[in-house]
Amino acid sequence: MAARQETVARVEAIDVDAYKYGFTTDIESEKAPKGLSEDIVRFISAKKNEPDWLTQWRLEAYRRWLTMREPDWARVHYPPIDYQDLYYYSAPKSTPGPKTIDDVDPELLRTYEKLGIPLREQEILAGVETRKVAVDAVFDSVSVATTFKEELAKAGVIFCPISEAVQTHPELVRQYLGSVVPVTDNYFATLNSAVYSDGSFVYVPKGVRCPMELSTYFRINEQKTGQFERTLIIADAGSYVSYLEGCTAPKRDENQLHAAVVELVALDDAEIKYSTVQNWYPGDSAGKGGIYNFVTKRGDCRGRNAHISWTQVETGSTITWKYPSCILRGDNSQGEFYSIAVSNGHQQVDSGTKMIHLGRNTKSRIVSKGISAGKSQNTYRGQVSAHRKAEGARNYTQCDSLLIGHDCGAHTVPYIESKNPSAQFEHEATTSKISEDQLFYAMQRGLSAEEATALIVNGFVRDVLQQLPMEFAVEAQKLISISLEGSVG
């Protein structure tokens, strides 16, 4: 009897439902009627008080979307999505554009506090933390607060919700919006173009090194809402910016759709470092609920010597469909992709990158670490291509997969296309399990099987963790060990 109880207790302890951000915030919200139509698109556009060109741009996207088919080439399976059964706009009612942080609904502040995201500037200044991070907090469809705006403005950096940028810097938005991910790009990006509600906008002027890390925190709260955010980052000639993105959602039984678009533009000599820690609700241990994360992220190295680096730690979402890419257009430009994708439970990950070499002497580097456990499927899908004029292009790709348990799968699908003899492409991939010897060694020194696994996994992903800003690296490391809880033994 006692033994049986112990077993029950142990099984409970290793429950994969250990998602600690699964609470909901009880806040009244204003929603658009359910479903999608031209009226909803106009409604969202009107809510944001958008100029006519943008409304038309959205409508064009919507009409295009109606003619498109949902992509089915990824190694993910899910029941058909009823696009008419979703809310495309949801905003906390009490925030008609808060002026200062004190105007923000205390319930919302508490939510972010619980998530560990500081929205009060003074707390950070008074605290022990020495590095400042400016945060744009997006709650369902709207941005609720952006911190350190003034300090950033002094440096000339524009960091605000994109809906605000449309009002204050329409010329920049009009010039760059959709210039990296065109309206017609793919099913989910086109849908996003039609109904996106908010997201961050960053402009770093010529020669400016952004004085602090910029960050957006996305939170889906409402039931049956899709979150469609749009991020646009422009680094003008010679500038530098590091941007972090984090996300969580409540535990809900039905699946929620998240279809974001991120566009990065790096001009001559500019550098953008984009880091993501993605921790959407992954569904419960039976595979019920969770976020569908169908995201289009692309960076355009438009100028000479431009440099774009993507770093991602993917632990959440029930389905991930995400390929942050670099278009290496400018001569000597560089693209990097560092990824850790952890899947457990019934998660399905199909993620990777594209490095499109167009300019001369362009370089790219891909390091992808996939860890699959439980009953999950984890696929790396990547493309590296060199076009005729990509003289001297170089790519190095390494993708390693680690399998924990025998019900999971790890897959590698690279497409390597070269049309230039001087392009040098190297690709390496391995799949293995944690070696018995390593486990034995660590356990012999007193670690439990789970601790030993965590230690080895940390070593496995170290190359990528090192690319993350420090605070994020710590968080990411914790996340990975939480995600893998229950996968050993």
Partner 1 sequence: MINLSNEADAVYAAQFETMRDSGAAQRRTDAYRAFAARGLPNRRVESWHYTDLKAALTKPAPLATTHSVTHALARTHDAVRLVMVDGKLRPDLSDLDTLPAGVRMQCLQEALASAGPTVTATLWPDNADDAAIALNGALMQNGLVVTVAPGAEAPRPLELITLVSGNEPQAVFTRSALIVGAGAHIRIIETHGVLDAGTEAASLAGAQLNHVLTMRLDADAKVDLLTNVAGFGETSVSVVSLIAHLDARARLNAHQLIEGGGLLRRQIFAALDGEHAHAAFNGVTLARARQHADTTLVVDHRQPHGESHERFRTILDGQAVGVFQGKIIVRSAAQKTDGVMQSKAILLSDGATMNNKPELEIFADDVKCGHGATCGRLDRDQLFYLMARGLPRGEAESLLLAAFANEAMAGIEDEALRDFFEARIGAWLTGRAGA
Tell me which residues touch partner 1 (CB under 8 A). 73, 388, 401, 403-433
**Distance in Å, CB of 430 to partner 1, minimum:** 4
The residue (of 12 and 73) whose beta carbon lies closer to partner 1 is 73
**Distance in Å, CB of 450 to partner 1, minimum:** 16
The residue (of 7 and 422) whose beta carbon lies closer to partner 1 is 422
Task: Tell me if 162 sits within 8 A of 199, measured CB to CB.
Answer: yes
- Give the C-alpha separation, 164 to 36, whole Å: 24
Q: Specify the long-range contacts of residues 10-16, CB closer than 8 Å, at least 24 apart.
A: 14/485, 14/486, 14/489, 15/285, 15/486, 16/284, 16/285, 16/344, 16/345, 16/374, 16/485, 16/486, 16/487
Query: What separation in angstroms does the CA of 259 have from each of 225, 262, 266, 443?
Result: 11, 10, 23, 43
Look up residue 85 and give its two tokens: 């059964």
Where are any strands of DSSP class E within 103-194?
Answer: 133-139, 142-146, 158-161
8-state DSSP, 251: -
**Distance in Å, CB of 263 to partner 1, minimum:** 27
The residue (of 423 and 473) whose beta carbon lies closer to partner 1 is 423
The residue (of 103 and 407) whose beta carbon lies closer to partner 1 is 407
Q: Report DSSP letters for 96-123, one per residue.
A: SS-SSGGGS-HHHHHHHHHTT----HHH
- Give the C-alpha separation, 434 to 404, whole Å: 7
**Distance in Å, CB of 372 to partner 1, minimum:** 9
**Distance in Å, CB of 410 to partner 1, minimum:** 5
The continuous run of DSSP H or E covering 340 comes out as strand 334-343
**Distance in Å, CB of 489 to partner 1, minimum:** 14
**Distance in Å, CB of 421 to partner 1, minimum:** 4
The residue (of 337 and 472) whose beta carbon lies closer to partner 1 is 337
The residue (of 15 and 426) whose beta carbon lies closer to partner 1 is 426
Phi, then psi, of 131 in degrees rounded to 5: -95, 140
The residue (of 47 and 411) whose beta carbon lies closer to partner 1 is 411
